[in-house]
Every structure is written in structure tokens, then in C-alpha cells.
Amino acid sequence: MNSPQAAARLLAMALVADGNYALSELKALDRLDAARQLGLPPQELKAVIETFCEDLLLGAQGAWHGSSQIDPDTRQQLLDEVTDRALRSVIVALCVAVVEADGHLADGETAMLDGLTRAWRQRPGPQGQHEGAAP
């Protein structure tokens, strides 16, 4: 709960919301120092993203068209792993920056951001600072 890895999985979900991720989106993560903001070493952030994407491809049997393919129960489980409001704010800001990085906001990216913010408005978490958060 509220782990840097849980936050990174949500960031990965934003990365592949439109079916793939662009180099500009990965560069945005580096530019924003996303790993540090989530409390992870850069290599671990990359590993979490790669593992998440591999798991999605396996589940989709190689035909991946975006994070809208994630079944609702799995998506909710991923969202429920982060309850801390401060961490949620960091995740939302990073997700917005990532989906805007390639200069095109795809339908899948809009749907992912809307779903993320809607779910967390309906289930507000406790206020507080998470362990890996940047001050």
C-alpha cells in the first residue's frame, strides 16, 4: 500500500494508455526526475514499467491497444494500492506530464486520466506524506 512500486505501476498505465509509449514520454519521466519523486532508483522505475508492460502484453495475448483493455477489477485494484493523497497528487501530475509529452492527447490517455481522478475523488484517501515522496 502506497509503495513506490504501486505508484510506478499507475505511471506505467498512463504510459501505455494509447497503446504504446513514445520516446518523448520516457524522456519526460527523466526530465521530471519521476523516479526520485516516487522514491525509486531510476533503474527500478524502468524495471517496474517493463514488468507491467510485459504482464499486460501477456494478458492481452500480444494484441495490446491501450490501458482501456485492463479489466475494471484489475484497474481498481491498482488504484486502491495508493490511498495517500500526497502520493496521489504526485502520480496525477506525473501522469498528466507523460500523456502530454508527445504533443498529442489520445482518447485512451484522456480516458485513463479521467478514470484515475474520478476513482480517487470517489474514494478519498487519508492525508499525509508517503515514504518515498519528495518534500
The pLDDT tens digits of the residues spanning 82-115 come to 999 999 999 999 999 999 998 988 888 898 899 8
Yes or no: is domain 4-122 CATH 1.10.3680?
Answer: yes
Return the pLDDT at 67.
61
pLDDT score for 43: 96
Higher pLDDT, 19 or 127: 19
Q: How far is CA 38 from CA 41, 78, 113, in A?
A: 9, 16, 18
Residue 126 CB contacts under 8 Å (≥ 6 apart), including other chains: 83, 84, 85
CB atoms within 10 A of CB 27: 12
Q: What is the pLDDT of residue 68?
A: 58
The pLDDT, as a whole number, for residue 60 is: 65
Phi, then psi, of 21 in degrees rounded to 5: -125, 145
Cβ-Cβ contacts under 8 Å for 76 (sequence gap 6 or more): 119
pLDDT tens digits, one per residue of 11-39: 999 998 888 788 999 999 999 999 999 99
CA dist 123 and 13 (Å) reads 19
